[in-house]
Amino acid sequence: MSSNNYEIPHIIVALDYNKENKALDMAKILDPSLCILKVGLELYVSCGPKIVNALHKLGYKIFLDLKFHDIKNTVIKSSLVAADLGVWMINVHSSGGVEMMSGVANTIKENNYSTLVTGVTVLTSLDNDDIKTIGYSNNTKDQVMKMAALCYDSGLNGIVCSAHEAKNIKNEIKDNFICVCPGIRRTEDNKDDQKRIMTPAMAANNGADYIVVGRPITNSKNPLKSLIKIKKEFNNTL
């Protein structure tokens, strides 16, 4: 666990909505001292930057999960726009290459933004069969390790990966390199469209710095209670 991040909540709640009022209603149920909020493509395309501003006013740190993947110049400019919103974290697809990733990392630093930049390795909705279908010869574990090394060499702050790979990454890459891990499910939760999943406690044991949880919290009868339960399970294992 990164010592300089100890005051920041390590649970990231995904606001997977397409309406501003639904996202804000959930944000008001939850607590900014207990979680960070993730704004993804669906919500951002629907609402634009105003949803980020509205969530900031409620006191939340924001992970803007837009997974930038384009030519270097476009991704750099888009990342600067995102950082200017004051978001805590953004991400880029590591398959965009070292030049693109290092360009983003360097530009964010040169412009004195504190926004963290992470690289998406292999989506947690993909398994070994899926990545072979799209042309990778490695299994998911080896492919994630390869992409993680590229992210590190590019100067990114960390990666987005399954908690299954976090332990190996922590063993190979020291240097305060953070692992943001989606695909988190308690034993009683529905797997939904996730394939490489892990419980909060197992993710903590494997070295996850932050876990991303969406539907097990936002679709529960008592989202705040579910958040507290997941946070306790994760933190008590650290």
Q: What positions carry a catalytic annotation? A: 67
Q: Are 175 and 149 in contact (CB under 8 A)?
A: no
Q: What share of the chain is helix, strand, coil (3-state, %, to 5)?
A: 45, 15, 35
User: Residue 35 carries which DSSP code?
Assistant: -
CA 238 to chain centre: 19
Q: What distance in Å separates the CA atoms of residue 141 and residue 175, rounded to the nearest whole number?
A: 21
Q: What distance in Å separates the CA atoms of residue 55 and residue 48, rounded to the nearest whole number?
A: 12
Helices of type H across the chain = 20-29, 41-47, 49-57, 72-84, 98-110, 128-133, 140-153, 163-172, 200-205, 215-218, 223-235
- For residue 49, CA distances in Å to 62, 78, 138, 139 come to 12, 12, 38, 37
Q: What distance in Å separates the CA atoms of residue 15 and residue 43, rounded to the nearest whole number?
A: 7
Is the backbone of residue 67 left (phi > 0), alpha (psi -120 to 50) or beta?
left
